Amino acid sequence: MPPLSSPSRREALRLLGSGLTLALGACAKPSEEIVPYVRAPEELLPGVPLRYATTLPLSGWGRGVQAIAVDGRPIKIEGNPLHPASRGATDVFAEAAILDLYDPDRSRTVTERVNGIASWEMFVRAWRAPLAKVRGQGGRGLHLLTGRVTSPTLARQIAGLRAALPEAVWHVHEPVDEASAARGANLAFGRPLRALPHLDRAEAILCVGADPLGPGPDQIRFAAAFAERRRDPARFGRLYVAEAAPTLTGIKADHRRALHPRDWAGLLVQVANGLGAGLPAPGLGAEALRFAEAAAADLKAHPGRALVLAGPALPPELHALAHWINGRLRAPVDLIAPPDGADAPPSDLAGLCAALDAGTVEALVILDANPVLTAPADLEIGRRLERARFSVHAGLHGDETAGATHWHLPLTHALESWSDLRATDGTASLVQPLVRPLYGGRSVHEVLALLGGEEAASGHDLVRQTWRAAWRAASGEGGDFETRWRRCLHDGIVAGTAAFPAAAPEPRLPDLPAGPAAGFAVEIRPDPCLWDGRLANTAWLQECPKPVSKQVWGNALALSRGEAARRGVSAGDVVRLSAGGRAVEVTVAIESGVAEGVGALTLGYGRERAGAIGDGIGANAYPLVSAASPWLATGVEMVPAGRRAEVLRTQNDVRIEGETRKLFRQIDLAELARAEPKGIGADQPSLLAPWQGDADGHAWGMVIDTAACIGCNACVVACQSENNVPVVGPEEIARGRMMHWLRVDLYDSGTPEAPRAGFQPVPCMHCEHAPCEPVCPVAASVHDGEGLNLQVYNRCVGTRFCQANCPYKVRRFNFFGYADGQEYAHLGAEPVRAQRNPNVTVRARGVMEKCTYCVQRIATERQAAERDGRPMGAVSTACQSACPTRAIRFGDLNRADDGVAALRRDPRHYALLEELNTRPRTTYLADLRAPNPDLAEDRS
């Protein structure tokens, strides 16, 4: 027992002295040896980027990508042209995966709920007792909860586990699932089949609550097919969309109808009746009826080339009805066995809840899922988890579920681990690590092996075992495994694994259910930026403007102008939505094209344990999600909460009389033959000398096809990733500041009730007579001999005259050191810096920056061409290579064989503000629509 009196003066000084000595000693750097490469590893050249084909998951589905690494440091994601879910392009989620890898908030160590930081060894010791117990019971009491499993290796491991412990139960919970579609297929065909629509072969398309061009694992595939077909005016076709609130598909539609979900059934029935279904006539409004009849007539006129798509919020019966219609239309849809299907179907979350209630859960393993956040709220999983005797969560982040379980194990990121995944069409591809795990995590395969009692399993071996067995089964002993393995790693796909279309019976006509209950309904959607919320801590995605609302750093309840007026709320009011005894407080945003009596809200916000970026941003929509109706909350009560909040947007004005038409050229297909290409205004007189190139003879230019642009933002995030564009944070956005070099403007020439909108990506125009250049007092804004308008960062003093004089307002100013010591939240942390592209300067405070046409890529190609003694080949900018629809084309205007020069002669060609005589190098192709003449006066 130490004395209770305080230490004496001498003692205190002694302690102080020894403490100081120890502290100083501890400051010394640990002795390390740095040894240069004596024999450099092959292919690893300092500063030369290397590409590795790998696969990234989204809701469990694999999308093939090529990850670029410099000096062993992954810095950028690009598409994999060989992979069917990428086709060389990316989406926002794939692009942002690189920042997710470096997220400083990723969990770094095993933790135990009571004692905090622990270790893998401690977990293994703690796991022994529950493992022994469930083993003794043949697995009874062991419950495994995963997300969607498409990985053949993981499926093999789970199957092995279930074989060894037959009483163990496997539950699957995927927040953004396709349960309704799967059940619909079951109703129509009698077995679970997955529909793979071919938008490249469908000319008349009707989407009912469906958003094929919107975010999701199939976005790239659908958008690419859709845009590719539309490039041919003869196969342009017509897209009809009926939906509750605008989606990307709705914006691209030739005819769009804002329709309350309760009328969706009527619309499909009307179309089905047109094909002889003979169902009782629905009570549709006159306008909706006209729309339905026009769509039905168009569909009927294109047998074999017509398609109906039903959205996730539709009940299974309507999915079955859509299958029936598609069957009648001989629609270009392949039906395949679900690639994520297992021999013995897994249980679901409700089953887990029942087991938890029964108190029979000895050990619960949650693998890479966050049910506490994402489970339907009526299951109250967070409370029920308490009833598991032993629970462990493995995940990338110490998220909500990690906080509710006994143990949390850090997982490795997809860019750090060996694995394999299947795409939505069944194509398998390998996941290979680009970097050693940054934070001491283990992959799902290793964790699952560990839980099965196999401690030292390596992910690499597990994946190889899977494929060795698979290939041996397929081709016998003959195949050379190593060669084939290397081929697959190199290509990024396992050839020949795409699912074959299954022979399906004629779809049955289902019995139709009663429509959704009356009253105010809220359609819940995955967020176009944060998806289901797992990406909430990725700053690029938080600051990525939502395609239609342009909102950043938060979500809002989209209401139509009429609905808001009727309910006495205005934009910026916080309202309380309650359904089923749970409530959500969310800010109201007034948006065009939202149906009356319905609101739209996206998932992924309102996170409590996402990290420094995602915590407390926006409103959590999951409490409105119920197990019975996950995507449509009906009978929602809405009352003002009595306060206001700001909806942060990067674009406030989309519809300005007289301006929109000038900036955003829209042509009807019927008038295309009469359209004339518009120049860049080079025929106007000018006091300035015409642009003269240098001896190289290059003239870089870009043409952006606004008809192909679906507004997906892949280019925006790709540009941010490639060019070290910093994130500014919500406070700065509220002050009207932003840094994206490339913005996607939304222009609407319609009305609030019936928008007629389109997207226009706006990078720097690289004007030949650039207004920014003569006004710079220090010549920081200059032109080069290849037509690039360059910004010399270290010469810039920050007068901002260039941006004041830029009619396109494409320049971005570092009001603070956004990348230079004054970063938002934790974005200045050491791991985040590792993401930066070494070929692009990180800009200092007080400096103007802007799109460079990816000058570093041009320089790389020039150097390669000089080294090899050949003419320069094609250069692809980051935005161009990300674009799923190839809407952005970049090239050399002086080369006849380069497509860009030809695009300038396209009848849809025009330049922004060409009357100002700036002679922009970035020009546009007009938006093209094919409205149905029968619906001519109805622009909705």
Record the tokens describing residue 425, joined without a space.
């069409």
Angle at 243 between CA 211 and CA 886, to 5 degrees: 30
What's the CA gap between 811 and 940, in Å, rounded?
A: 36
The smaller minimum CB distance to another protein, of residues 444 and 746, is found at 746
Shortest approach of another protein to residue 773 CB, angstroms?
8
886 three-class SS: coil
Q: Report whether 597 contacts 563 (CB < 8 A).
A: yes
Half-sphere exposure of 610 (CA within 13 A, CB side): 26
What's the CA gap between 939 and 902, in Å, rounded?
A: 33
The smaller minimum CB distance to another protein, of residues 157 and 841, is found at 841
Integer Rg of the chain from CA: 29
Helix (H) or strand (E) holding 320: helix 316-329
Q: How far is CA 442 from the centre of its chain?
A: 25
Shortest approach of another protein to residue 887 CB, angstroms?
17
The smaller minimum CB distance to another protein, of residues 490 and 662, is found at 662
Q: Report whether 452 contacts 161 (CB < 8 A).
A: yes
Q: Which region holds residue 116: left if phi is over 0, alpha if psi is between -120 and 50, else beta?
A: left
Shortest approach of another protein to residue 778 CB, angstroms?
5
What's the CA gap between 636 and 20, in Å, rounded?
A: 63
Helix (H) or strand (E) holding 585: strand 582-590
The smaller minimum CB distance to another protein, of residues 541 and 847, is found at 847
The smaller minimum CB distance to another protein, of residues 540 and 747, is found at 747
The CA distances from residue 148 to 59, 86, 312, 426, in Å, are 7, 20, 16, 13
The smaller minimum CB distance to another protein, of residues 412 and 814, is found at 814
Shortest approach of another protein to residue 651 CB, angstroms?
5
Strands of the 142-146 sheet, one edge to the other:
116-117, 111-112, 407-410, 390-395, 363-367, 142-146, 169-172
Decide the pairing of beta strands 922-925 and 700-705. parallel
Record the tokens describing residue 348, joined without a space.
């679901």
Looking only at Cα atoms, what is the longest distance across the chain? Answer: 100
The smaller minimum CB distance to another protein, of residues 432 and 803, is found at 803
Shortest approach of another protein to residue 770 CB, angstroms?
11
Shortest approach of another protein to residue 656 CB, angstroms?
5
The smaller minimum CB distance to another protein, of residues 159 and 663, is found at 663
The smaller minimum CB distance to another protein, of residues 800 and 862, is found at 800
Shortest approach of another protein to residue 689 CB, angstroms?
13
For the four alpha carbons of 781, 785, 788 and 790, in that order, the dihedral sign comes to: negative
Shortest approach of another protein to residue 410 CB, angstroms?
36
Task: Return the HEC string of 168-184.
Answer: CEEEECCCCCCHHHHHH
Q: How far is CA 90 from the centre of its chain?
A: 9
The smaller minimum CB distance to another protein, of residues 838 and 846, is found at 846
Shortest approach of another protein to residue 539 CB, angstroms?
18
Shortest approach of another protein to residue 108 CB, angstroms?
32
The smaller minimum CB distance to another protein, of residues 282 and 761, is found at 761
Shortest approach of another protein to residue 730 CB, angstroms?
14
Shortest approach of another protein to residue 735 CB, angstroms?
6
Contacts of 542 (CB under 8 A, 6+ apart): 529, 530, 536, 552, 553, 613, 614, 617, 727
The smaller minimum CB distance to another protein, of residues 563 and 591, is found at 591
Query: Which residues lie across from 782 on neighbouring strands?
Result: 790
Shortest approach of another protein to residue 394 CB, angstroms?
41
What's the CA gap between 217 and 176, in Å, rounded?
A: 11
Residues of this chain that bind another protein (CB under 8 A): 651-654, 656, 658-660, 662-663, 732, 735-738, 743, 745-747, 762, 771, 774-779, 795-801, 803-805, 807-809, 812-817, 822, 844-848, 913, 916, 918
What's the CA gap between 93 and 717, in Å, rounded?
A: 9
Query: Which residues lie across from 306 on neighbouring strands?
Result: 204
The smaller minimum CB distance to another protein, of residues 409 and 654, is found at 654
Shortest approach of another protein to residue 729 CB, angstroms?
11
Distance separating the N- and C-terminal Cα atoms of the chain: 83
Shortest approach of another protein to residue 917 CB, angstroms?
9
What type of residue is 359?
Answer: G
The smaller minimum CB distance to another protein, of residues 253 and 772, is found at 772
The CA distances from residue 147 to 130, 155, 324, 854, in Å, are 23, 12, 30, 38
Half-sphere exposure of 707 (CA within 13 A, CB side): 27
Record the tokens describing residue 518, joined without a space.
């009356």
The smaller minimum CB distance to another protein, of residues 641 and 913, is found at 913
The smaller minimum CB distance to another protein, of residues 517 and 804, is found at 804
Q: Report whether 401 contacts 384 (CB < 8 A).
A: no
Residue listed under structure tokens 């974005």 = 827
The smaller minimum CB distance to another protein, of residues 166 and 774, is found at 774
Contacts of 544 (CB under 8 A, 6+ apart): 92, 96, 529, 552, 713, 716, 717
Shortest approach of another protein to residue 665 CB, angstroms?
15
Looking at the chain, how many residues does it have? Answer: 940
Shortest approach of another protein to residue 248 CB, angstroms?
18
638 three-class SS: strand
